[in-house]
Amino acid sequence: MRLNSIFIGIVALFCAPLSWGITQPAIDTHQVDAQTYQITVSIPIAQGDALYTDYISFSADHPGVLLSEWSASYEPKSKYDTDFKQTKKLFTQPVTLSLQATVSDPSLQDATLHLATVSRLKKNQQFQFPLHFKNALTFQNNDSLNEIDNSPAVSDAINTESQRTLSFQERLLLLFTETESWWIRLALALLLGFILSLTPCIYPMIPITVGILQSQGSKSITRNFFIALTYVFGIATTFATLGTAAALSGRMFGSFMRNPIIILTIVALLAYLAGSMIGLYDLYTPRFMQGSNNHTVKKGSFFSIFLFGAASGTVASPCISPGLVLLLSMVTALGNTALGFILLFFFGIGLGIPLLIIGTFSGSLRVLPQAGTWMVSVKQFFGFFMLATCLYFLGTIVPASIIGWLTVLLSGSVGLFYLISANKSSGMGRLIQNLLGIAAIALSVYLAFEAYKKTDLYLAGSQHTDIWLYNYDEALAIATAQNKKMFIDISAPYCSICKAIDKKLFSNERVQEKLSNYVTVKIEDIEENETTLALQKQFTVIGAPTILIYDPIAKKELKRWGGELYELSPDEFIETL
């Protein structure tokens, strides 16, 4: 989705201060002894730009000139970078670099000093300085300075677009790293969470929210809002707790969702709530959750909703976005558990904003006029939706072929349910239920063919066509032998947006054709064994999806994506590749 168009007014506010590029450095030198010279280079940095420390390099074009390591006038700042999708050390203010040159060849009269830099906004630049060796080392400063833009020196390591338009989310990330105000950071964390909530990451939470909060609804919209808000607070608390633990322990965010016991517990809860919403039985509400006869609210009811939210928070968006990567990196860098928890809590609140709206609405259905049988039908629909969500979670621990046949069974059962219910209805309700029943039966027939194909592929094993290799060592050997770059897709069974990216991009024939230029490897569970855990450390994987382009010859990571890759169309992704 294009958030730029939605928030174009806000984006405009961020455009003004971002002037582009590094202008000409100023050079000074003095002789220390007969062979050694002290060089200082003052580099101006425009407001909004930053200079990568990793890509500052000095060199001379003659072996008789030996250069020392450079040092800076101040310590660089560690900040999250939207191109590399990781924390980098940056100079954000004008900086002076110092180094020494030793002339080992006394007959040497002329040489050229080269300075290569990479900045966040201007990208690659090289500066050349003629050197003349007489009684002292003399530099011709700005008059003889020759700036060469778009040098290929490190073009394989970064995106080489010289004037790329930053997305709305990238501007938020840039503002987050630049500001020193914690109030602004908390507000931006809230907004970044809301951006992630607009992706498929949050979809599995919708039926859970409806199932839990609908049963607690009343005729007071205000009360329903605060119930939903309490529920979202519970989700955010668990989200922040698990996120802080993942950041400080180095474990992959959301990895607890690979535990079959947790999956089965979630499925059992969803199935229980779904049965009640369909009308198979009345939902038992514990006494501490019940209000009194005069419909006043006990304190315990809000506490119980908070606990439900905390339990539901275990499945709240285990997928990764640039905003979440930034926050987890900051939590790690801060080493302050309290501040890290608060940042992730606000991010979790932003993530839960759609759930707050849905929860308030689902709990307020009875406020609407003539809320009769149609409201029961809405509850039944969400009940079937929750059963479908059960199959989604089971898909992380059960083969796809079995899930396919369970989906056929569910669709056929829904069709029969509506056809039988239609006999008990009349008028428009009967017509709608008959249509729903016929549509569900027809869908079950189509799904049966799809399930048969999945079963056939499952039984055939590796005989079907697949663009992916699943063994990293094998892929690395092939890429090295063929001098190809690697395209690495690190997924997870529980990652909803990973599946969405697979369907939208990686299943596209034109994308697959473009990916044939790479050695493509998919790692479906990076915490599966010791080998994959080593890759987690090698590539600093903190969550799924993590998608990389890697050069095995140079041993360099060239590009990294997270959940934001879902926002690209196939054509845009092909152009990026």
Domain boundaries, the chain: 12-149, 179-398, 399-464, 472-576
**In the chain, % of residues over pLDDT 90:** 13
How confident is the model at residue 287, as a pLDDT? 57
Structural class in CATH, domain 12-149? mainly beta
Task: Tell me how many degrees the CA angle 235-237-242 measures, rounded to the nearest 5.
Answer: 95
CB 455, CB 406: distance < 8 Å: no
Pairing of strands 36-43, 51-52: unpaired
How confident is the model at residue 488, as a pLDDT? 94
How confident is the model at residue 459, as a pLDDT? 58
Average pLDDT of the chain, as a whole number: 76
How confident is the model at residue 267, as a pLDDT? 86
Work out the pLDDT band at 565, boundaries 50, 70, 90: confident
Q: What is the mean pLDDT of residues 425-430?
A: 80
Q: Which stretches within 423-544 are classed as H helix?
A: 427-460, 472-482, 496-501, 509-515, 530-538
Work out the pLDDT band at 57, boundaries 50, 70, 90: confident
How confident is the model at residue 478, as a pLDDT? 92
Work out the end-to-end distance of the chain between its first and last CA atoms, rounded to an integer number of angstroms.
20
CB 254, CB 525: distance < 8 Å: no
Instruction: Return the higher-pLDDT residue of 221 and 552.
Output: 552
Residue 490: CB partners within 8 Å, gap ≥ 6?
523, 526, 535, 539, 541, 544, 545, 546, 547, 548
CATH number of 472-576: 3.40.30.10
Q: pLDDT (tens digit, 9 = 90+) per residue, 260-296?
A: 888 888 888 888 888 888 888 776 655 554 544 444 4
Residue 465: CB partners within 8 Å, gap ≥ 6?
none
CA 211 to chain centre: 27
How confident is the model at residue 402, as a pLDDT? 87
Work out the pLDDT band at 299, boundaries 50, 70, 90: very low
CA gap 421, 384 in Å, rounded: 15
Measured in residues, the chain has a length of 577
Task: Tell me how many degrees the CA angle 245-247-248 measures, rounded to the nearest 5.
Answer: 65
Least confident of 21-30, 86-95, 360-369, 487-496: 360-369
CB 501, CB 545: distance < 8 Å: yes
Least confident of 297-306, 466-475, 511-520: 297-306
CA gap 195, 188 in Å, rounded: 10
Residue 137 has pLDDT above 60, yes or no: no
Residue 411 has pLDDT above 90, yes or no: yes
Residue 333 has pLDDT above 70, yes or no: no
Residue 491 main-chain phi, psi, to 5 deg? -115, -170
Q: Which stretches within 120-255 are classed as H helix?
A: 168-178, 182-197, 205-214, 221-249
Instruction: Return the higher-pLDDT residue of 298 and 219.
Output: 219
Whether the CA torsion 69, 70, 76, 81 is positive or negative: it is negative
